[in-house]
Amino acid sequence: MTGDSTLRVGLIYPELLGTYGDRGNAVVLMQRARWRGLDAELVEVAASEPIPDSLDFYLFGGGEDDPQSMAAEGMIKGSANIERARAGGAAVLAVCAGFQQIGHRYVAADGSEIPGMGIVDAETRAGSPRLIGEVVVEPEAPLPRLTGFENHGGRTTLGPGVRPLGRVVAGGGNGIDGVDGVLAERVLGTYLHGPVLPRNPALADRLLSWVVGELAPLDSTLEEDLRQDRLVAGTATGLRKWWQERLLARG
């Protein structure tokens, strides 16, 4: 851990990058740490504040193009602090717009560019159609299948040798090469909302283990029931899939 014995879970620019309930990722990290007897506190970094180098987790959520553009300048200014913290053992979780911002740039539909932090070798361009719906991703073992919900128009290209989070079984993910997200040293990027960590307890524990080391097991029966339910929904076909798409179209 980068600081004292209390885990500092940083929620970065939630008023800009918090459109899809990604605050839930912070809640889950703290609770799963506390259930194991570890102290954890939430540190909200407002968009008007500099990003510190003293956090154990840096969580970036989703947002539309305008809020993402507004967040970009502060994120770039804070990238050196984030990298300093990561070198000291901190971890980064970046979802949707946050995922796009840890790459080099996001190119909007009108050709304008939102510069990124360059933490990973990736570039995103606006594409069509918009990718909306349940997603199922097959990561590398020992992680089980992941479930989430996507709502984005980005098409993210990973650089040579950059590892994705996993292979897309259903849904769009990065929209290119049949993969979702990125997986680097204590960095995880993904298009999975839901939020992703409440839906996938093993993924939450993987992030925690990056910072605190080996974890005691937890009873995650309820969380696994939710994951299985969403996996069934994500791989639906035929009439069931048609009905899901009809409900989404209605809003």
Show which residues are catalytic.
96, 193
Say how far apart CA 71 and CA 94 lie, in whole Å. 13
DSSP code of residue 220: -
Question: How far from chain centre, in Å, is Cα 96?
Answer: 6
Those residues with Cβ within 8 angstroms of residue 222's Cβ, 6 or more apart along the chain or in another chain: none
Q: What Å distances lie between residue 73 and 69, 78, 101, 153, CA to CA? A: 8, 9, 10, 22
Say how far apart CA 140 and CA 32 lie, in whole Å. 22
